[in-house]
């Protein structure tokens, strides 16, 4: 794979598929998808084991909850650590270092004999596990542009949307055959598999020659370099973060919403959760196929319109007093729309700053983790107020994402855009 410098006037700058680069194939995407899966698997797989952790480690619910908080904090910090490192030193070395230490931390978590050791292991696990998420996005941005990049991001973002839905169910099945350590050892297997696939399938996408070319272009014309404060990047980054927050509101509030508010059994809850996962999967798969024909911008706009329709429909049903089970229809629309939103907004944000993919990916992932924590906290504080908190948050986050999309689509061509003009399909 020949290196291509990102300089004004190049085909890469124009948003076309860069010359000399192979399109993203199934094998590298599989590895990148597993890297993206590590964080949601490690986050959610052991949730059903919380009561066992309290008994086995002789602690209480608060410290056990800290194991999740530590992982989220590590994941947020790790995004900002590995993004700039990968821009400076290349993608492969920081990625491999992160994967190796994540395996070690996962083993430590599975073997922890006290809650303090488990919290420490989870902090390191989240910190190092962030390498796969942030650098994986940067690798896609390095190797593809336009519709091809949007396809890659959509397929990888599909993992981020579906895995949190199925991980607790898988964790429950694993607990049926052993203690809380069984899900933890499963996380070790996932991290080790991700490391092996990374070594075998993920090449260096930011070689020294290309890094030197980008630095030389910035030194010669600093005003032409990619700016993370550009309106096009910021708008689509906000769009991504709040689109993910819409999905997070559903995931965080679903158990209370389905069982306490709508009165479904735990089995029915699992089936409904799985049905929405299928809707999300179908929408993501269609988006990945259709992006080559319609472009990421158009599909993102369609997805956000569906988000507003679904979330507004939920809120209208809640406020009108109609039986809450009718929420299932607009809820499925809102959840499915994320299949159009996440990958395409990521592609549009990353394409706005092609010379700073690592730092851009860090910002996306860091604020994604931060907003996920905020949404979960707000829903926890408002628990007991029926379906209104979930519907209200989804309306607000969906509206902010839609407004950000409008701002990004109408952004003028500033200095960044003149140096790296986006492909028309990216608008």
Same domain, 198 and 287: no
Predicted confidence at residue 206, as pLDDT, reads 78
The residue out of 178, 209, 240 marking a domain boundary is: 209
Are 259 and 408 within one domain? yes
Residue 352 is assigned to a structural domain of this protein: yes
pLDDT digits (tens, 9 = 90+) for 364-401: 888 888 888 788 778 877 877 788 999 999 999 999 99
Reported as a single tens digit per residue, the pLDDT across 238-261 is 999 999 999 988 887 887 788 788
Are 153 and 254 in a shared domain? no
Same domain, 284 and 235: yes
Evaluated on CA atoms 88, 91, 92, 93, the torsion sign reads positive
Residues 293 and 183 in one domain: no
* Alpha-carbon gap, residue 205 to 398, rounded angstroms: 34
What pLDDT shows up at residue 338?
A: 92
pLDDT, residue 324, reads 87
Q: Are residues 198 and 236 in the same domain?
A: no
Taking each helix axis from N to C terminus, what angle separates 92-110 and 115-143, rounded to the nearest 10 degrees?
150
Q: Does residue 222 lie in a domain region?
A: no
Final residue belonging to a domain, choices 179, 209, 239: 209
Using alpha carbons, list the distances in angstroms from residue 323 to 230, 235, 260, 271, 390.
46, 37, 14, 20, 16
The pLDDT-based confidence of 420 (bands split at 50, 70, 90) is very low
Look at residue 255 and tell me if it is in a domain.
yes
323 and 381 both lie in a single domain: yes
Residue 281 and residue 203 share a domain:
no
Same domain flag for 301 and 172 = no
Q: How far is CA 140 from the centre of its chain?
A: 14
Q: Are residues 266 and 337 in the same domain?
A: yes
> pTM score, two decimals?
0.74
Whether residue 107 is contained in a domain is answered as: yes
pLDDT at 211: 65
**Do 172 and 303 reside in the same domain of the chain?**
no
- For residue 10, tell me if it sits in a domain: no
246 contacts 119 by C-beta, under 8 angstroms = no
At residue 424, the pLDDT reads 45
Asked if residue 216 belongs to a domain, the reply is no
Mean pLDDT for the chain? Answer: 81
Q: Residue 75 maps to which CATH number? A: 1.20.1250.20
Q: Look at the chain and report how many structural domains it folds into.
A: 2
- Determine the Cα–Cα distance for residues 95 and 72; give it in Å rounded to an integer: 19
Q: Domain limits at 137?
A: 26-209
* Dist CA 114 CA 399 (whole Å): 44
Per-residue pLDDT tens digits for 21-56: 445 667 778 888 888 888 888 887 887 788 889 889
Q: What is the largest CA-CA distance in the chain?
A: 65
Which tokens hold the place of 222?
Answer: 């600093």
Classify residue 282: in a domain, yes or no. Answer: yes
User: 299-347: per-residue pLDDT in tens?
Assistant: 999 999 999 999 999 999 999 988 889 999 999 999 999 999 998 998 8
318 with 239, same domain: the answer is yes
Is 225 a domain residue?
no
């Amino acid at each position: 794979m020949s290196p291509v410098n990102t300089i004004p006037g190049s085909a890469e700058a124009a948003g076309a598929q860069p010359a000399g680069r192979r399109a993203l194939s199934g094998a590298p995407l599989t590895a990148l998808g597993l890297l993206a899966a590590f964080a949601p698997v490690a986050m959610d797989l052991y949730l059903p084991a919380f009561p066992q952790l309290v008994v086995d480690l002789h602690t209480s619910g608060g410290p056990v909850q800290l194991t999740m908080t530590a992982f989220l904090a590590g994941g947020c910090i790790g995004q900002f650590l590995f993004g700039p490192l990968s821009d400076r030193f290349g993608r492969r070395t920081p990625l491999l270092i992160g994967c190796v230490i994540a395996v070690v931390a996962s083993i430590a978590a599975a073997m922890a004999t006290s809650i303090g050791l488990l919290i420490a292991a989870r902090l390191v696990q989240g910190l190092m596990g962030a390498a796969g998420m942030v650098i994986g996005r940067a690798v896609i941005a390095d190797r593809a542009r336009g519709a091809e990049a949007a396809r890659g991001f959509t397929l990888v973002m599909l993992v981020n949307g579906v895995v949190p839905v199925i991980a607790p169910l898988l964790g429950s099945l694993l607990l049926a055959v052993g203690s809380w350590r069984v899900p933890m050892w499963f996380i070790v297997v996932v991290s080790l598999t991700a490391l092996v696939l990374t070594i075998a399938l993920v090449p260096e996408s930011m070689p020294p020659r290309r890094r030197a070319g980008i630095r030389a272009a910035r030194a010669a014309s600093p005003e032409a370099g990619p700016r993370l404060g550009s309106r096009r990047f910021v708008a689509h980054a906000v769009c991504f973060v709040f689109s993910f927050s819409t999905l997070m509101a559903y995931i965080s509030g679903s158990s209370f919403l389905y069982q306490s508010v709508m009165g479904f059994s735990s089995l029915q809850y699992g089936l409904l959760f799985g049905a929405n996962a299928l809707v999300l999967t179908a929408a993501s798969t269609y988006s990945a196929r259709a992006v080559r024909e319609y472009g990421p911008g158009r599909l993102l706009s369609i997805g956000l319109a569906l988000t507003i329709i679904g979330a507004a429909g939920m809120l209208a049903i809640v406020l009108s007093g109609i039986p809450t089970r009718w929420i299932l229809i607009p809820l499925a629309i809102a959840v499915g729309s994320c299949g159009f939103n996440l990958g395409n907004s990521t592609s549009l944000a990353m394409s706005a700053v092609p010379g700073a993919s690592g730092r851009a990916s860090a910002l996306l992932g860091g604020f994604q983790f931060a907003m996920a924590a905020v949404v979960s906290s707000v829903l926890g504080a408002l628990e007991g107020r029926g379906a209104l908190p979930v519907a209200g948050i989804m309306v607000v986050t969906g509206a902010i994402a839609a407004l950000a999309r409008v701002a990004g689509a109408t952004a003028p061509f500033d200095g960044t855009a003149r140096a790296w003009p986006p492909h028309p399909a990216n608008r």
